Every structure is written in C-alpha cells, then in structure tokens.
Amino acid sequence: MSVTTTGRRSARKAKGDGHLRRAEILAAAERIFVAEGYEGATIRRIAEEVGVSSTALYMHFPDKACILLEICQGAMQVLLDRNSQIAERPLDPVVRTRMMLEAYMRWGFEHPNAYQLVFSAVRPLPADSDAIAELAAGCYDKFSGVVREIAAQGRLRLGHGDSAAQALWAACHGVVALRLSRPNFPWEPVDDLIEITLEGLLNGLTVD
C-alpha cells in the first residue's frame, strides 16, 4: 500500500481525445499530495501525471487548493452517506456502531491515498474548509449518536457516550493509519485486523 507516482504518468493526451475527466485529475492529485506533500504538488506536476498541459488542467480547477478541497469533500461525503444509511437501520445500536466502524476502516484500506490525505496528512486547510468541517461534523454526529444510544440503554462498561465514541473512532483510525504508513511491517490480513479490533473494542466496552 505504499504511495508512489513512479510509472503512473500518462502519455500526453492528443487533441481530440475528448474532455478530461475531473476524476482523473483528482486521482492523480491524491497520489501526489500524499507522496510529495501539498507544497510539492504543483499544478504542473499534477498535469504531467495526468498527461495534459497545465492550461488544460486550469480549465477544470483554478488552483491546487480547489483540487484538495474537492478530494476532501468527496471523501467526507462518502463517509457521511454510509453513516447516515447505517444509523437509520432498525438494528441494535451496538450492531450499528460496529457496522459504521467497519465501513470506516474498510474505506480507509480500500482508498489509502484519500484516507491519508483527509485523515493523516499534514496540510494547510483549503480556503473553503467550512464545507469540509460541516461534512466531517455530520459524519461524526451520526456515529456518536448511535454510541450515545448504547449509553442511554446503560450498556457501557465505562465512560459515557461521547468519550466512548471518541475512543472507538481513535482506536480504529490508529489501526488504519499505522498500517498505511508502515507498509513494510509484516501485517496480518486486513480482514483479521478489522475483526480483532472491532470485537476487542466492543466486547470490552459494551454489555448485552
């Protein structure tokens, strides 16, 4: 799961090949932001990775801050949609909490560049970061609301709804972030890590 841009650079696209998809720019920018940092991710560098001119790229995004903003917004929207769907299901709150945490971890392992960029990378906030903050708050509110349901039922062994939600989220983030940032460590399979993490956390924190 190491991040690299070597060998991924596209050949320069000839005129008449059609409109460049924004998704192609976003995918290339994700890789470069993580591999080379925000400062190293120039418009020219991103354009070279995609295989177009800087001028062509500017037709889609006025600057790299707007690219970063769209990547972050897209990632948070996916997580918010998933949490919203799970939160509304007529299931036991412990089951829903587990489903949310599993969805979060799997999304991180399946989209390592986006995960590191949104949750782990040290970066300046985009100019319009209020939109990202609102999505992130909504995502966390859906999750913590379900954990508070567990607390309201008197099923937490310790702590309260908010402290339990924060501890659960932080623990799962730690597993994902550490595995992505240390790809050469002899990690066990992802499915095993997810199952052991979630079963250990929830069995230790909640009662039937």
The pLDDT of residue 46 is above 70? yes
Confidence class for position 14, pLDDT limits 50, 70, 90: very low
Angle in degrees, 0-180, between the axes of helices 43-50 and 22-40, rounded to the nearest 10: 140
Closest CA to 71 of 133, 14, 105, 115: 115
Task: Give this prediction's pTM.
Answer: 0.80
Q: Is 203 left (phi over 0), alpha (psi -120 to 50) or beta?
A: alpha
Mean pLDDT of the chain: 85
pLDDT at 173: 95
Weakest-pLDDT range from 3-7, 162-166, 186-190:
3-7
Question: Could you report the per-residue pLDDT of 142-177, keeping only the tens digit for each?
Answer: 999 999 999 999 999 999 999 999 999 999 999 999
Segment 88-97 long-range contacts (CB within 8 Å, at least 24 positions apart) = 93/146, 93/147, 93/149, 93/150, 93/153, 94/150, 94/155, 94/202, 94/206, 96/146, 97/143, 97/146, 97/147, 97/150, 97/168, 97/202
Taking CA atoms, 55 is separated from 30, 31, 46, 48, 157, in Å, by 20, 21, 12, 11, 59
Is 119 or 101 the better-scoring residue by pLDDT?
Answer: 101
User: Rounded mean pLDDT of 61-79?
Assistant: 87
